[in-house]
Amino acid sequence: MFELKGWVELDGRKLSEEDVREILMDQPEMVCKFGGEFYISADDYCARDHFGIITGPCPPGSIVEAGKVTGHITPGVGTHGLEEAIIESVILRKDEGVMALSGGVDSALIAALARRPCVAVGIEGSHDLMRARIAADAIGLACEYVTVTKKDVLEGISAVVPVIPSPDPVNTAIAVTMHCITKWAGENGYQRVLAGQGADELFGGYSRYLHSTDLEADLNEDFIRLPGQAERDQAVAALHGTYISMPYLDVRVVRAARLIPAYEKIVDGVRKRPLRLVAERVIPAGIAWQDKKAMQYGSGVWRTIRELARHNGYKRSVQGYINQFGVRDHGI
């Protein structure tokens, strides 16, 4: 039985499910050149996209036949400048789905290029809801603003802790935020959710990079962790029949970004400088160059999880609160 999850491209051309099926039957050697975000299975055969964006029971970027790895996925996408790479990666993904907009440069750039409907989530009065509204109005995007309640966060913790790989406080807070986004997407008929994941690791977005003694090594180490983050996000998205699409983790963008020296990614305390230089040609400079909190903080979800932990007697251990989910009832 043939199954395709996600989508496939070959040399910049998106393939239909029938195209993929025919290539698998007539030219199986071409599968190793597939780009996109996909998991393909057929009888005792399976293949998964280069970075493992779409989850499946085989290693990222591998072709497996009868339980043995017989090939590797290396998309033939050539070399692109950063701006060209980002534009092409978004073009390939903008035919469907909803954009998760937080108002920062990462999501605002994708949203402006994709021109898809957007959704922003956050606790009432949160930083992300405010910034998303500013960005959507400035760029001229349709956006739904979803106010997350304490009850929503509690339900989100109960849903994500059993399915994410490492339910520590940070991963749980990110997963709960993604839960709110993908739940809305699924309820409103969207399967694909475009998101800005990967930009911090590729372009030097984390504040801790400002104090790094070896930025290149730190960026490489964090990049290696990205498949684990994708597994977390896709596990949450799957709860609602959706999946996360990640333009910054397109092979073109990754190759272009990794050709940029680390010292050019943070200049005079400005993080993600190469991305901001591209963005200012597409979105207002005030959005392109302004810093933004990480989603779990900007949405207010992390603060709410801490409040729930304290309310339930875990004044010093958010991890302890997370660990005991499923053991007893957790009221607000």
Mean pLDDT, residues 91-107 taken together: 96
- Report the pLDDT averaged over residues 314-331: 75
Integer CA distances (angstroms), 102 to 17, 91, 121, 273, in order: 32, 20, 8, 19
Q: What is the pLDDT of residues 273-296, one digit of tens each?
A: 999 999 999 999 999 999 888 888
Q: Are 325 and 307 in contact (CB under 8 A)?
A: no
Q: Are strands 35-42 and 68-72 parallel, antiparallel or unpaired?
A: unpaired
Indicate if the pLDDT at residue 78 is higher than 80. no
Distance CA 53, CA 250 (A): 9
pLDDT tens for residues 294-313? 888 889 999 999 999 999 99
User: What's the mean pLDDT when you consider all of the chain?
Assistant: 94
> Which tens digits make up the pLDDT trace of 254-272?
999 999 999 999 999 999 9
Domains of the chain and any CATH numbers: 2-72 (no CATH), 82-298 (3.40.50.620)
Average pLDDT over residues 92-109: 96
Q: Are 190 and 242 in contact (CB under 8 A)?
A: yes
3-state DSSP assignment of residue 308: helix
Mean pLDDT of 53-57: 93
- Based on the number of CB atoms within 10 Å of its own CB, is 13 exposed (0-12), middle (13-18) or buried (19 or more)? exposed
The whole-model pTM stands at 0.93
SS3 221: helix
Q: For the residues 325-332, what does the mean pLDDT come to? A: 51
For residue 25, the model assigns a pLDDT of 92
DSSP-assigned letters across all residues of 11-45: TTEEE-HHHHHHHHHH-GGGGGG-EEEEEEEETTE
What is the per-residue pLDDT across 205-254, written as a single tens digit (0 to 9) for each?
A: 999 999 999 999 999 999 999 989 999 999 999 999 999 999 999 999 99
pLDDT digits (tens, 9 = 90+) for 173-205: 999 999 999 999 999 999 999 999 999 999 999
